[in-house]
Structure 1
């Protein structure tokens, strides 16, 4: 019998909605293509303004949080240290900015805007400038503001308030315990559906680019059937990753992929017009700042055009659909950071790298197209966006090698996105549980593959784009509510700073209960208080003539041993233990689905049960050791 930790209403509710749409795509692909197209047109005509206004609002919201007094609040207790060093944290944010999209659009988007700009004359210098401004806008701080809203809400309510790592937790200030009911279920269901179709869209882009590359390098037919077969093959690799559980291997693979991606970018930078690219990087950034507000609010209301739906509105919907996935990742790695550190890092670090990436590939492509390629890259973009990168590499040294590297990069991005995406979706569908059965992750991994394959059969990438744009609409509304709930909770926390009980801030005492320590916190506590306390006892015993005592550290903690002639040695061990968070953390979830909290425990060699000594000072630990040492002396 399969074990489960799912939230049945969310798990089967999201499965039912996704399954219904996919069944329609399978049974009636022409009808589903028409349905998705009409739904997209309706969303654009009716809610295009809402997407634009919402994204502008998200950027303004996180900027105000960073600048204002809320910026000093921590994502965790006020005395919590960051789980990762600053450079490592920035490197992981840097990694989060990489993905299939950058590989697919690095050449295709700038060139597409260059040959078919919304305003400038095609193929002109002004069109090239406009192309890079638009590309920067689509991939810059607007996108990361969307991720920051979701990531900040998840991090704040999970790390500081002790709530499960689910979307509904961010609405607790507004709904209270009603988030346990249908409203909370609906929030998580919309988050799952948005994430599912957002990842399916990325997988669709990835497989289209892989088949184009395989066709270019090895002559493999570039057909929908081959794309579906390729989805099955690559998703099988993702499935093996899920079943094996070797997440360290996947992490190393992702890091290797990032290194290879940077190497590919540096190769293009050096092999291409290096000086021009460095100059263009600076000038593109200046143009981006100059057009920032105009591009933020552009809707072409006076002269409607399909360009808006195909590009800007699609991007805003895509980022919103991806926000639970990326938001949960950056929330998990950001415990102990201040709100100001979080927002500045999330907005600026990935955006800065993405600007460099797009400049290197985009400006080099336009430069080659005007010269050596004589318009061939533009022709390739117009014929098929997925072939643009490989036709571009054709005009640089070692095209077969670099094209093969690009195919490998997309494939590994494909695998890691599917594996990580299944984990995020499963966490949402399981009430925040992090140690779910493998079959549940396998289920969501398979559903992602099925969604990408069936939507490609239904209408290619156009159907995927339409599904993403429609699925993101309800979650955009949820994100606005997350902003309101986060602002309300942060302001309440700021006002509570002055409330004291017995000389200690009330909010500090509550946070000790509601925001339990992480494993890294306990490790630091053991290093600062536990190990020095045991060393102090050892030194005091040695001073009294008891030389047969030692303090040692191993993988399980730190321990003090005092030898006795009769063989009954005294042993006092400090270790790290995990347990489900208590239900008083506002969501009364079953024990098996609650997130874990970490505690420091003390165990003696007399068979007594482990004792929780989390938060003990050095003096308190010394006193506890001496108490048990006294009992040992009497018994011996």
Structure 2
């Protein structure tokens, strides 16, 4: 391999994307990453067939809990640092740097861009947890933040504030750092769209060797297994919703049918690419979600008009206290919720970050950070205030299933809220469709990311390769459900979360590398008198 220029920040044109690749059977694969990743997947599926799922679940849960309990302070302060680091970048002179160069133009409209990053990053989570999480904190389903007395006004404020804390700027700052780093080194420095590229300023040529292979393999496995877990859990939620709404009694057969359907549509989408697939589905998602939010907000307006400002205030009042891990008496709640969330966001950051990077060419650093961190947070506050506020109101006033029995089945909590609203069956069907589309967009965006990593960082992998990874995602989810059901999915979820510890160190190194790269780019802007006058 030719030596890269010592002036990495100025000249990396000697690097040829795919120089170690193998073209065969319509694939264009980077052999070490593709081969080893596929080998680990095969080993995992074989092991799953042999080992009792409960045994695997207990072992991986033990590993996950050891990491969360032993590194809680590290996760908390690292995530705080990512928020502060992002804010410093946003306000600094680096903010005027444009991804792709000074003359780069945005490839997607702002609306489509926001729809895609939102659908890939957390859309399904809002549907699943928008009701369940605030109610869980309010009713002491599994601990309360700061050990507040449940069913009190203080519990309601903390329930809403804590929910937004877990879905707000902290999580999106994690995604933003990975996405910005990848976008910058890909579009401004001409390096492959792969995690290893970010570390060239620190490790030099070693980033193209086994050090880089290991980083990319970890990213592939975390992405693939994370998506497979979500697809399996989503199939269970969709099946529960279908059974609840239509009175059916579908079990594992219906869950596998849902997975097959989602995988089939995802394959069609990845074949069509971003413009003809992910963008179209994301725009449809946004319209469905906006219509659902407006309707639910309208029928629950008396609650929502108070819940939205209360949620904003609760988030602002509690963000600093919830960010501080020291002197807490609610460590069980903090470990089970906050630290778990930060580990999950970090473990998903290679996937979501790379996808956001791929669609963000032409945006300035400041525009990018504002959009990626604060707009999703704003949408989340409104969404959670509407759905969580109505759900807590039903609990307080003893309305419907939540009012009578509280949380009994998290996968049905959203539909229990609908049962007590006008046209509940209609919006339940709409939500089932929305759940399925969100999972399709997550699956195909994840497939495109894995395609890029396993092809050595190429932006457009061959169609057979796209089909292969989309199919593998669905196959893993289906096999896990068939062999071990919920226990197998939870075991894999614990394994994915365990990858957050090494990835946290990776993200901290990313910050160092990103500053090096941005600093070199800023010199180009500073020396351009024409740009300086117009910037």
Question: What TM-score results when the alignment is normalised by the length of structure 1?
Answer: 0.74
Equivalent position of 2:207 in the other structure = 179
Query: Quick one: distance in 2 between partners of 1:446 and 1:283?
Result: 44
Displacement of 1:222 in angstroms is 5.4
Equivalent position of 1:430 in the other structure = 455
Which runs of structure 2 are paired with 1:336-351 in the superposition (5 Å)? 336-351=362-377
Equivalent position of 1:328 in the other structure = 354
CA contact (8 A) 1:380 1:387 kept: no
Q: Can you list the C-alpha shifts for 1:263-311, whole angstroms capped at 9, x where unaligned?
A: 1111110011x14312221121122111111112236765531x33432
The alpha-carbon distance between structure 1 residues 76 and 111, as it changes in their structure 2 partners (threshold 3 A), is: same
Q: Can you list the C-alpha shifts for 1:352-377, whole angstroms capped at 9, x where unaligned?
A: 01110111100011112222516x21
CA contact (8 A) 1:93 1:349 kept: no
**Is 2:304 the counterpart of 1:280?**
no
**Is 2:129 the counterpart of 1:102?**
no
Question: Aligned match of 1:397 in 422, 426, 430?
Answer: 422
Q: How many residues align?
A: 500
CA contact (8 A) 1:44 1:309 kept: yes
Displacement of 1:405 in angstroms is 1.1
Is the partner of 1:433 in helix, strand or coil?
coil
Displacement of 1:159 in angstroms is 1.4
Q: Can you list the C-alpha shifts for 1:218-275, whole angstroms capped at 9, x where unaligned?
A: 2333544542343233323323444566951553233122211111111110011x14
Equivalent position of 1:317 in the other structure = 343
Which runs of structure 2 are paired with 1:87-126 in the superposition (5 Å)? 89-90=113-114, 92-93=116-117, 95-96=119-120, 99-116=123-140, 117-118=144-145, 119-126=147-154
Equivalent position of 1:439 in the other structure = 464
Is the partner of 2:460 in helix, strand or coil?
coil
CA contact (8 A) 1:265 1:360 kept: yes
The alpha-carbon distance between structure 1 residues 471 and 451, as it changes in their structure 2 partners (threshold 3 A), is: farther
Q: Can you list the C-alpha shifts for 1:499-541, whole angstroms capped at 9, x where unaligned?
A: 79xx999xxxxxxxxxxxxxxxxxxxxxxxxxxxxxxxxxxxx
Equivalent position of 1:546 in the other structure = none
**Is 2:442 the counterpart of 1:414?**
no
The alpha-carbon distance between structure 1 residues 31 and 316, as it changes in their structure 2 partners (threshold 3 A), is: same
The alpha-carbon distance between structure 1 residues 431 and 249, as it changes in their structure 2 partners (threshold 3 A), is: closer
Query: Quick one: distance in 1 between partners of 2:276 and 2:522?
Result: 39
Displacement of 1:194 in angstroms is 1.6
Q: Is the helix fraction higher in 1 or 2?
A: 2
Query: Quick one: distance in 1 between partners of 2:461 and 2:188?
Result: 23
Query: Quick one: distance in 2 between partners of 1:53 and 1:454?
Result: 38
Displacement of 1:115 in angstroms is 0.8
**Is 2:33 the counterpart of 1:10?**
yes
CA contact (8 A) 2:268 2:277 kept: no
Equivalent position of 2:55 in the other structure = 31
Query: Quick one: distance in 1 between partners of 2:43 and 2:317?
Result: 46
Query: Quick one: distance in 2 between partners of 1:254 and 1:78?
Result: 28
Displacement of 1:345 in angstroms is 1.6
Query: Quick one: distance in 2 between partners of 1:433 and 1:421?
Result: 15
Equivalent position of 2:73 in the other structure = 49
**Is 2:162 the counterpart of 1:134?**
yes
Structure 2 spans left out of the alignment, 5+ residues:
1-23
Question: Aligned match of 1:210 in 238, 243, 251?
Answer: 238
CA contact (8 A) 1:373 1:395 kept: yes
Query: Quick one: distance in 1 between partners of 2:404 and 2:30?
Result: 50
Which runs of structure 2 are paired with 1:171-320 in the superposition (5 Å)? 171-221=199-249, 223-224=251-252, 226-243=254-271, 248-272=276-300, 274-298=301-325, 304-305=331-332, 307-320=333-346
Question: What TM-score results when the alignment is normalised by the length of structure 2?
Answer: 0.87
Equivalent position of 1:449 in the other structure = 474
Quote the RMSD (CA, aligned, Å): 2.6
CA contact (8 A) 2:33 2:217 kept: yes
Question: Aligned match of 1:74 in 85, 90, 98?
Answer: 98
Equivalent position of 1:617 in the other structure = none
Q: Can you list the C-alpha shifts for 1:371-407, whole angstroms capped at 9, x where unaligned?
A: 2516x21666632100101111000111221111111
Is the partner of 1:383 in helix, strand or coil?
coil
Q: Which moved more, 1:86-95 or 1:418-427?
A: 86-95
Equivalent position of 2:506 in the other structure = 478
The alpha-carbon distance between structure 1 residues 360 and 420, as it changes in their structure 2 partners (threshold 3 A), is: same
Structure 1 spans left out of the alignment, 5+ residues:
506-636
Query: Quick one: distance in 2 between partners of 1:267 and 1:385?
Result: 22
Query: Quick one: distance in 2 between partners of 1:261 and 1:355?
Result: 14
CA contact (8 A) 2:187 2:361 kept: yes
Equivalent position of 2:6 in the other structure = none
The alpha-carbon distance between structure 1 residues 217 and 460, as it changes in their structure 2 partners (threshold 3 A), is: farther
The alpha-carbon distance between structure 1 residues 83 and 124, as it changes in their structure 2 partners (threshold 3 A), is: same
Q: Is the strand fraction higher in 1 or 2?
A: 1
Q: Which moved more, 1:402-411 or 1:227-236?
A: 227-236
Query: Quick one: distance in 2 between partners of 1:38 and 1:97?
Result: 27
Is the partner of 1:248 in helix, strand or coil?
helix
Is the partner of 2:363 in helix, strand or coil?
coil
The alpha-carbon distance between structure 1 residues 14 and 396, as it changes in their structure 2 partners (threshold 3 A), is: same
Which runs of structure 2 are paired with 1:519-598 in the superposition (5 Å)? none
Is the partner of 2:457 in helix, strand or coil?
coil
Displacement of 1:49 in angstroms is 2.2
The alpha-carbon distance between structure 1 residues 343 and 13, as it changes in their structure 2 partners (threshold 3 A), is: same
Equivalent position of 1:538 in the other structure = none
Query: Quick one: distance in 2 between partners of 1:263 and 1:282?
Result: 21
Is the partner of 1:6 in helix, strand or coil?
strand
Equivalent position of 1:361 in the other structure = 387
